[in-house]
Amino acid sequence: MNTQQAPQNTRQQQAQPQVLDTAQIAALLGVSRRHVTSSITKRPDFPKPVLNLSQRVRGWSREAVTEWVRRETRKANGR
């Protein structure tokens, strides 16, 4: 009987959605969903949505949002 297991990082990647909605971005940033909708997503340097079905149904790439957070953190820390 062959009981090979997938690598741990593959399971973690599958558990995390690759497209984030405003509620998930808010949780990541520690702000309200309303703040994300009214301010963060309107910033010119914030990534454009990869899913844009309507004004209310949009999604952003987890990778792009994470990179944006890294850049903003570096700016805030003076790097």
Q: Which residues contact 9 (CB under 8 A, 6 or more apart)?
A: none
Are 58 and 25 in contact by the 8 Å Cβ rule? The answer is no
Instruction: Using alpha carbons, list the distances in angstroms from residue 55 to 32, 63, 73, 79.
Output: 18, 22, 28, 35
Question: What pLDDT is recorded for position 55?
Answer: 80
Question: What pLDDT is recorded for position 4?
Answer: 52
pLDDT in tens, the chain (79 residues): 544 554 555 555 556 679 999 999 999 999 999 999 999 999 999 999 999 998 889 999 999 999 999 999 998 888 7
* Token pair of 5 as six digits: 């297991």
Are 58 and 22 in contact by the 8 Å Cβ rule? The answer is yes
